Structure 1
Amino acid sequence: MAESGGRPRRAGLGAPQLTLAGSAAGAVVLAVLAAGGFDPLEKPETDIAPLAAGETVDLGPFELTVDRLRVVDELPGISEGDDDTRVLALVATVEATGTATEYGALLSGSVALDGVPGVTADGDGSEPVPADAVHVMADGTRLDAVQPGLEYEVALVWEQDARADVPAEARLVLVGRTLRESSIDHTQEWLDPLPVAAGDLEVTAPPPSEDES
């Protein structure tokens, strides 16, 4: 993947590794999350740190700094929704913590909205919903890999049913993982997804169009 949208932060790291870390485990984790495979109540509330805009959280494979949550109106390359859906986007800064390239899908599976009307995944809608995708803010391209030594400003996006109201605020859940040996193939993988931080963020709606004013 091209390094579009990333800004070098550290020198002397050498060329990024071509092998994506946690590929098999990442796919399994994402499948579990998409099916509602974790519940914030599985971890005691006292162990889940409060979350607010501007805070940086260590998720294991990534460090994520939450900026703002908004309804998408002008982000190049990202769907702006249609008559049936609108797009909610979390703007954040992310950096891989290790020396290997990580999947963008692992990042999207680490950030979820909880209890937002009209935002649902497979299941009964009672579980937090991971982001649909991650895009680079600079040009709207999809972020498929997070390379070490680069800091990315990204938009993590969810589709919301347009019949639901735009929420004044939304609960964001960040999921952390532990690097340990896999019992399947004995390689080091990012495993054991658990919520590490959660909080309510204000949702910024776009200004009304001239037709609506």
Structure 2
Amino acid sequence: MEERANGVAQSSPEPALPFSRRLPRMLAALGLVAALSAGIGAIAAAGGLETVAADEPERYGIGETFVSSQLSIDVDRIAVVDELPGTGAFPDEDAGERVLAVLVEVTNLDVEPRNASGTGGLGTARLEGRPDDAPGVSVYGDADFSPVALQPDLPTRILLTWVVAADEIGDADVQLILPEAVKSDSTLFRGESYWSDTSSTVVISGEAEDLGAGRGDGSL
């Protein structure tokens, strides 16, 4: 409705809706908020709002077999020894260094061979607290330092080694972190594929046996 003051048309404010007409709108708005809150609560309860960092890794110990990155891995032994010839680990005796060794039996479940030292293999394994220290990867009992190829369906005993300080490995369990990897088709090269790490990991843990000076022949 328009009114004129001093010859100028002015609009009067719209009358407020009565409460009886505003009430349904208010109830509808409250219902929408309640529905959204219930939906968010259900998603959170199902883990949909959890971050990847909160995921607990699978844990395995000595004598256990598990599958990761299409590798069947059997944890055989964890040991610390003064020296381990044939593995590429060269501790400095004068500095009090020793060799930490993790012996596993690995079977490649994929249809293609893969490098044991590369992504999707065992070369990405890391000791807890040493994220930048890659292991030496060698075939157990074989002094050949050529790259280790894991053939499909062929069990292979692999030795992972690190040079550690003499007092670095105590009574606490050794924690070995192994990222899980997925295989993808290359978008650049037809017929080629590659492995890439995911945010998921598995943890191998166990007490290290102290083998003293070792046997001198590269065996545990």
Interval of TM-score (by shorter of Structure 1 and Structure 2): 0.5 to 0.7
5 Å-filtered alignment, 1:87-126, equals: 87-106=99-118, 107-115=121-129, 120=130
Taking structure 1 as reference, are residues 136 and 151 closer, same or farther at Cα in structure 2, changes over 3 Å only? same
95-104 or 65-74, which moves further after superposition?
Answer: 65-74
Taking structure 1 as reference, are residues 88 and 182 closer, same or farther at Cα in structure 2, changes over 3 Å only? same
5 Å-filtered alignment, 1:164-183, equals: 164-168=167-171, 169-183=173-187
TM, length-normalised to structure 2:
0.60
Aligned residues: 156
Paired residue type of 1:134: V
C-alpha contact 1:173 1:195 (8 A) present in aligned 2: no
Q: Distance in 2 between matches of 1:75 and 1:153?
A: 16
Residue matched to 2:62:
53
Taking structure 1 as reference, are residues 128 and 67 closer, same or farther at Cα in structure 2, changes over 3 Å only? farther
Paired residue type of 1:92: V
What's the offset of the Cα at 1:128?
6.4
* 1:63 is the counterpart of 2:72: yes
Q: What is the RMSD of the two structures over their aligned residues, measured on CA atoms?
A: 2.8
* 1:136 is the counterpart of 2:119: no
Q: Distance in 2 between matches of 1:56 and 1:135?
A: 20
State the secondary structure of the residue aligned to 1:77.
coil
Q: Distance in 1 between matches of 2:115 and 2:61?
A: 25
C-alpha contact 2:82 2:98 (8 A) present in aligned 1: no
Cα deviation 1:37-83 (Å, max 9, x = unaligned):
xxxx954333x112211222222242211122111346441346222
86-95 or 98-107, which moves further after superposition?
Answer: 98-107
State the secondary structure of the residue aligned to 1:68.
strand
**Please, which runs of 5 or more residues in structure 1 have no aligned partner?**
1-40, 121-126
Taking structure 1 as reference, are residues 172 and 77 closer, same or farther at Cα in structure 2, changes over 3 Å only? same
Paired residue type of 1:110: T
Paired residue type of 1:178: V
Which structure has the highest helix share of the two?
2
C-alpha contact 1:50 1:199 (8 A) present in aligned 2: yes
Residue matched to 1:4:
none
What's the offset of the Cα at 1:196?
2.9
Residue matched to 2:81:
72
C-alpha contact 2:128 2:176 (8 A) present in aligned 1: yes
C-alpha contact 1:64 1:95 (8 A) present in aligned 2: yes
What's the offset of the Cα at 1:157?
0.7
Percent sequence identity is 24
C-alpha contact 1:75 1:140 (8 A) present in aligned 2: no
Q: Distance in 1 between matches of 2:202 and 2:134?
A: 14
Taking structure 1 as reference, are residues 75 and 150 closer, same or farther at Cα in structure 2, changes over 3 Å only? farther
**Please, which runs of 5 or more residues in structure 2 have no aligned partner?**
1-50, 215-220
TM, length-normalised to structure 1:
0.61
Cα deviation 1:113-153 (Å, max 9, x = unaligned):
112xxxx4xxxxxx36432x212222343352112232111
